[in-house]
């Protein structure tokens, strides 16, 4: 039985169990808004085909009459592979139905040529699929930075790979023989955080990533915002340079973007200029800033201001319960944390300033896990509409 062929009520029950279970049928009804009869009707084929299972009674509950039984998803029922593509490396994760990692692998990329990358993905998928036994891989989820259309499987533009119009989903599917979906890496990570991380159970949240690029995934009303044209949450391209006296040129070709001020490469470029050292590395810039070097600290201060303005814009626009800050750039978060908070508080309108800001360092394996989560999502939401609220 394919979950995608089941009625919407079955998908709702399955997703609620996936993200909030185990639950009794009565609690399932309360959380989904379905009647007890409807819950039983849609649960029966899911039980018969092994997607969900019955467990014992809830701990501590011994009530008269028919005892309540917990129902839960069977994580081992399906296996997925997520792949995060960076400019010089592939990170892969084999995961179960709950996106729990079963195996991880990394492999360097010798070239950014499309064919080379696709072949490297196929080899990585094969190695991950061979390990651990269990069911065959149901699908592969590949995540990549840039303008990625998950509906059509096309990478419209990825600046770090210099790709345009690449039909990546089709290419990987042909190379691996496994159904493949692709998505923007930040949106995929947001799906994983929505289901199993710091966004679980929230009606709205945003995930801001700081690193080679500045990205943002947004979840409102339990749905991931993916944009009518496949673009959303691109806060890295908000024009804040005017407010900061910066005219740095961004990879998109515009000037004054957040990404041109606060991405890791932008910080390195500015630190080299400010210190007069053309060979300065990021680690050395961080060390200089920590040691009190005013020129280096000024670069991180400006980056913090840009990020604070961008994060405040997210809070003002959607009013999320929480904004999660992650990405490889948070390793040096202490250097611009105070400035982020000050800029955010000054720019956030009214009670938007009360938004919970959470710093959550996540390794690239977690980003690859996002690819597995997107692949799992398409198991019962093939149209890519995103998870629905079960509240």
Map out the domains of the chain as residue ranges: 3-73, 77-191+365-380, 200-359
For tokens 């890295």, name the residue.
Answer: 236
Confidence (pLDDT) at 20: 84
Question: Do 256 and 248 contact (CB within 8 A), yes or no?
Answer: yes
Beta bridge partners of 356: 322
CA 332/CA 41 separation, integer angstroms: 52
Confidence (pLDDT) at 381: 64
* Strands 52-54, 180-184: pairing kind: unpaired
CA 227/CA 46 separation, integer angstroms: 32
CA 255/CA 359 separation, integer angstroms: 28
∠ CA 18-8-219 to the nearest 5 degrees?
60
Reported confidence tier of residue 246, pLDDT bands at 50, 70, 90: confident
Confidence (pLDDT) at 15: 84
- CATH 1.10.10.10 describes domain 3-73: yes
Q: Bin 65: left if φ > 0, else alpha if -120 < ψ < 50, else beta.
A: left
Confidence (pLDDT) at 174: 97
Question: Do 372 and 337 contact (CB within 8 A), yes or no?
Answer: no
Q: 162 or 329: which carries more pLDDT confidence?
A: 162
- Which residues have a Cβ under 8 Å from the Cβ of 254 and sit 6 or more positions away? 237, 239, 260
Rg (CA), the chain: 22
∠ CA 140-130-90 to the nearest 5 degrees?
50
Confidence (pLDDT) at 200: 87
Reported confidence tier of residue 330, pLDDT bands at 50, 70, 90: confident
Provide the H-helix boundaries in the chain. Answer: 8-20, 25-32, 36-48, 114-130, 168-176, 185-196, 241-244, 259-262, 264-275, 282-290, 294-318, 337-347, 364-380
- For residue 306, which phi and psi values (nearest 5 degrees)? -60, -45
4-8, 13-17, 247-251 — most confident range: 13-17
**pTM of the predicted model, to two decimals?**
0.85
Per DSSP, 256 falls in state S
Per DSSP, 157 falls in state E
Confidence (pLDDT) at 387: 40
Question: Do 311 and 304 contact (CB within 8 A), yes or no?
Answer: no
- CATH 3.40.50.2300 describes domain 77-191+365-380: no
Region 23-39: mean pLDDT is 91
* Domains 3-73 and 77-191+365-380 fall in the same CATH topology: no
Q: Give the tens place of pLDDT for each residue, 251-264.
A: 788 888 999 999 99
Question: Do 148 and 163 contact (CB within 8 A), yes or no?
Answer: no
Q: Give the tens place of pLDDT for each residue, 342-364.
A: 999 999 999 999 999 999 888 88
CA 104/CA 94 separation, integer angstroms: 6
Confidence (pLDDT) at 389: 36
Reported confidence tier of residue 166, pLDDT bands at 50, 70, 90: very high
Question: Do 230 and 257 contact (CB within 8 A), yes or no?
Answer: no
CATH number for the region 200-359 comes to 3.30.420.40
Number of H helices, E strands in the chain: 13, 16
Half-sphere exposure of 333 (CA within 13 A, CB side): 19
Confidence (pLDDT) at 3: 67
Beta bridge partners of 181: 141
Residue 146 has pLDDT above 90, yes or no: no
Q: Give the tens place of pLDDT for each residue, 40-94.
A: 999 999 999 889 999 876 665 555 555 678 999 998 999 999 999 999 999 999 9
């Amino acid at each position: 039985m394919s979950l995608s062929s089941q009625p919407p009520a079955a998908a709702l029950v399955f997703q609620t169990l996936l993200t909030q279970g185990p639950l009794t049928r009565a609690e399932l009804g309360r959380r989904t808004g379905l009647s007890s009869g409807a819950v039983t009707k849609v649960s029966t084929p899911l039980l018969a085909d092994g997607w969900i299972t019955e467990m014992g009674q809830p701990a501590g509950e011994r009530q008269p009459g028919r005892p309540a039984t917990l129902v839960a998803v069977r994580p081992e029922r399906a296996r997925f592979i997520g792949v995060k593509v960076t400019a010089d490396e592939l990170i892969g994760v084999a995961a179960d139905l709950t996106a729990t990692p079963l195996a991880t692998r990394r492999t360097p990329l010798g070239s950014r040529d499309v064919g080379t990358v696709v072949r490297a993905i196929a080899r990585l998928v094969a190695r991950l699929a061979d390990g651990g036994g269990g069911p065959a891989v149901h699908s592969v989820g590949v995540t990549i930075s840039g303008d990625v259309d998950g509906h059509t499987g096309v990478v419209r533009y990825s600046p770090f790979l210099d790709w345009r119009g690449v039909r990546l989903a089709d290419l990987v599917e042909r190379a691996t023989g496994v159904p493949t979906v692709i998505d923007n890496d930040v949106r995929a990570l947001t799906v994983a955080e929505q289901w199993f991380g710091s966004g679980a159970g929230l009606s709205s949240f945003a995930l801001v990533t700081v690193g080679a690029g500045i990205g943002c995934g947004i979840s409102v009303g339990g749905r991931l915002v993916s944009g009518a044209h496949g673009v959303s949450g691109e806060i890295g391209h908000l024009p804040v340079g005017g407010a900061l006296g910066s005219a740095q040129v961004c990879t998109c070709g515009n000037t004054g973007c957040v990404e041109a001020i606060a991405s890791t490469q932008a910080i390195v470029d500015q630190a080299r200029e400010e210190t007069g050292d053309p060979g300065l590395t990021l680690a050395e810039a961080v060390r200089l800033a920590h040691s009190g070097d005013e020129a280096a600290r000024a670069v991180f201060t400006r980056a913090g201001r840009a990020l604070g303005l961008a994060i405040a814009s997210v809070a003002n626009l959607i009013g999320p319960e929480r904004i999660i800050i992650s990405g490889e750039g948070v390793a040096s978060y202490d250097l611009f944390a105070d400035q982020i908070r000050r800029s955010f508080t000054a720019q956030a309108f009214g009670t938007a300033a009360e938004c919970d800001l959470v710093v959550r360092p996540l390794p690239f394996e977690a980003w690859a896990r996002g690819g597995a989560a997107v692949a799992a999502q398409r198991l019962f939401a093939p149209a890519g509409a995103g998870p629905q609220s079960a509240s």
